Amino acid sequence: MGYTKESIQKVVEKQRAFFRSGRTLDVKWRIEQLKKLKKAVLDHEESLKEALYEDLGKSPFEAYLCDIGPVIVEVNEILRGLKKWARPEKHFSGLMCFPSTVTTVYKMPYGVSLVISPFNFPVLLTLGVLAASISAGNTAVIKASSKSAASTAALQKLIADVFPEEYVTVIDGGHDVADMCLSERFDKIFYTGSPAVAKHVLEAASHNLTSVALELGGETGNWCVIRKDADLRDAARKIAFFKLCNAGQICININQIAVAEEVADDFLDALKSEFVRQIGEKAEENPDYPKLITSAVYDKCVRLTAEYKDRVVFGGAGNRESRRFEPTVIYPVNENEDLVKHELFCPILPVVPYKDREIDRIMEVIADREHPLSMYVFTSDKKWAKKVMSTYQFGGGCINEVCVHMMVKGVPFNGTGHSGMGAYHGEWGFREFTHPQTVLTGRTRFNLSLREHPYSGRKGEKKMSLLKRFEK
Residue range 2-58, pLDDT digits in tens: 899 999 999 999 999 999 999 999 999 999 999 999 999 999 999 999 999 999 999
CATH number at residue 251: 3.40.309.10
What phi and psi, each to the nearest 5 degrees, are found at residue 79?
Answer: -60, -35
- 208 burial (CB, 10 Å; 0-12 / 13-18 / 19+) is middle
Report the percentage of the chain scoring pLDDT > 90.
95
* Same-domain check for residues 137 and 180: yes
Of residues 428 and 468, the one with the higher pLDDT is 428
Q: How confident is the model at residue 449, as a pLDDT?
A: 81
* Same-domain check for residues 344 and 402: yes
Inform me whether the pLDDT recorded for 96 exceeds 90: no
The distance from CA 380 to its chain's CA centroid, rounded to whole angstroms, is 29
* Same-domain check for residues 52 and 123: yes
Q: Would residue 90 count as lying in a domain?
A: yes
Q: Would residue 398 count as lying in a domain?
A: yes
* Same-domain check for residues 168 and 317: no
Does residue 215 carry a catalytic annotation? yes
Listing DSSP states for 52-74 in one string gives: HHHHH---HHHHIIIIIHHHHHH
Return the bridge partners of 115, or none: 142, 190
d(CA 418, CA 337): 20
* DSSP assignment letter at 145: -
Q: Which domain holds residue 26?
A: 5-217+419-435
* Same-domain check for residues 231 and 113: no
Long-range contact set of residues 262-267: C-beta below 8 Å, sequence gap at least 24? 262/228, 262/355, 262/356, 263/226, 263/228, 263/230, 263/232, 264/331, 264/332, 264/351, 264/353, 266/232, 267/226, 267/232, 267/235, 267/236
Report the percentage of the chain scoring pLDDT > 70.
100
d(CA 51, CA 380): 42
Count CA atoms closer than 13 A to 119's CA, side-chain side: 22
- Beta 348-354 vs 256-260: how paired, if at all? parallel
The distance from CA 176 to its chain's CA centroid, rounded to whole angstroms, is 23
Q: Would residue 326 count as lying in a domain?
A: yes
The CA–CA distances, whole Å, from 284 to 125, 244, 319, 435 equal 26, 11, 6, 48
CATH number at residue 52: 3.40.605.10
Kindly provide the residue ranges of all beta strands, DSSP E only, lying in 195-270, ordered along the sequence.
211-216, 223-226, 256-260
Count CA atoms closer than 13 A to 55's CA, side-chain side: 26
Does residue 181 carry a catalytic annotation? no
Q: How confident is the model at residue 470, as a pLDDT?
A: 78
Q: What is the pLDDT of residues 53-75, one digit of tens each?
A: 999 999 999 999 999 999 999 99
Domain count, the chain: 3
Average pLDDT over residues 115-139: 98
Q: What is the pLDDT of residues 251-291, one digit of tens each?
A: 999 999 999 999 999 999 999 999 999 999 999 999 999 99
Q: What is the pLDDT of residues 226-236, one digit of tens each?
A: 999 999 999 99
* Same-domain check for residues 60 and 161: yes
Average pLDDT over residues 183-191: 98
Query: What is the number of other CB atoms lying within 10 angstroms of the CB of residue 34?
Result: 20
* Same-domain check for residues 333 and 466: no
Q: How confident is the model at residue 252, as a pLDDT?
A: 98
Closest CA to 254 of 230, 220, 278: 220
The CA–CA distances, whole Å, from 324 to 106, 292, 334, 351 equal 50, 6, 27, 22
The answer to whether residues 103 and 179 touch, using CB atoms and an 8 Å cutoff, is: no
Query: In the sheet where 89-92 sits, what is the strand order?
Result: 89-92, 102-109, 434-440
Q: What is the mean pLDDT of the chain?
A: 97
Q: What is the pLDDT of residues 285-316, one digit of tens each?
A: 999 999 999 999 999 999 999 999 999 999 99
Q: How confident is the model at residue 1, as a pLDDT?
A: 65
Q: Would residue 347 count as lying in a domain?
A: yes
Return the bridge partners of 259, or none: 226, 353
Q: What is the pLDDT of residues 384-418, one digit of tens each?
A: 999 999 999 999 999 999 999 999 999 999 999 99
Q: Which of 66, 224, 245, 251 is catalytic?
A: 251
Q: Would residue 14 count as lying in a domain?
A: yes
d(CA 70, CA 68): 6
Q: What is the pLDDT of residues 158-184, one digit of tens each?
A: 999 999 999 999 999 999 999 999 999
Q: Would residue 414 count as lying in a domain?
A: no
Q: Is the peptide bond before 372 cis (omega within 30 degrees of 0)?
A: no
Q: Which of 74, 77, 184, 215 is catalytic?
A: 215
- Gyration radius of the chain's alpha carbons: 26
- 161 burial (CB, 10 Å; 0-12 / 13-18 / 19+) is exposed
